[in-house]
């Protein structure tokens, strides 16, 4: 888990730097003050979900396989609720928010899936 947190922190810092560059140089009119909080939300959610999935994989790989689809579903519901609430509150910035949300979702999900795949492969070998 420690290596995962280090990698996750590195990715989050890289996204923060890229976001700062994009919003300060290329598209300052689309800057969202909520972006740092959105990044923190994804960081914490990914860490929590990964921790839960690792515990499930260590207990029983069969149970992990069955619960993985439910975890993915609830994660999508959680992110959708965040999107709907934000769009209801700030309709003017809905498009930049949805684009940021989708990019963060894709980046963090890709990272999470590759890391959990590595962890479950090593758990299956044991």
pLDDT at position 123 over 80: no
User: Percent of the chain scored above 90 by pLDDT?
Assistant: 63
Overall average pLDDT of the 51-79 stretch: 86
For 15-19, 84-88, 110-114, 115-119, which range has the lowest pLDDT when averaged over its residues?
115-119
Compute, in degrees rounded to 10, the torsion defined by CA atoms 5, 10, 12, 13. 140
How far is 83 from 88, CA to CA, in rounded Å? 8
* pTM for the structure as a whole: 0.86
């Amino acid at each position: 888990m420690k290596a995962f947190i280090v990698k996750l922190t590195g990715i989050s810092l890289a996204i923060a730097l890229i976001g700062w560059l994009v919003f300060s140089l290329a598209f300052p009119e689309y800057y969202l003050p909520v972006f740092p909080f959105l990044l923190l939300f994804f960081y914490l959610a990914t860490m929590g979900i990964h921790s839960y999935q690792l515990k499930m994989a260590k207990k029983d790989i069969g149970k992990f396989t069955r619960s993985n689809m439910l975890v993915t579903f609830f994660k999508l519901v959680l992110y959708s609720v965040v999107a709907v609430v934000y769009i209801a509150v700030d309709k003017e910035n809905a498009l930049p928010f949805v684009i940021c949300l989708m990019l963060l979702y894709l980046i963090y999900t890709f990272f999470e899936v590759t890391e959990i795949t590595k962890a479950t492969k090593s758990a299956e070998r044991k």
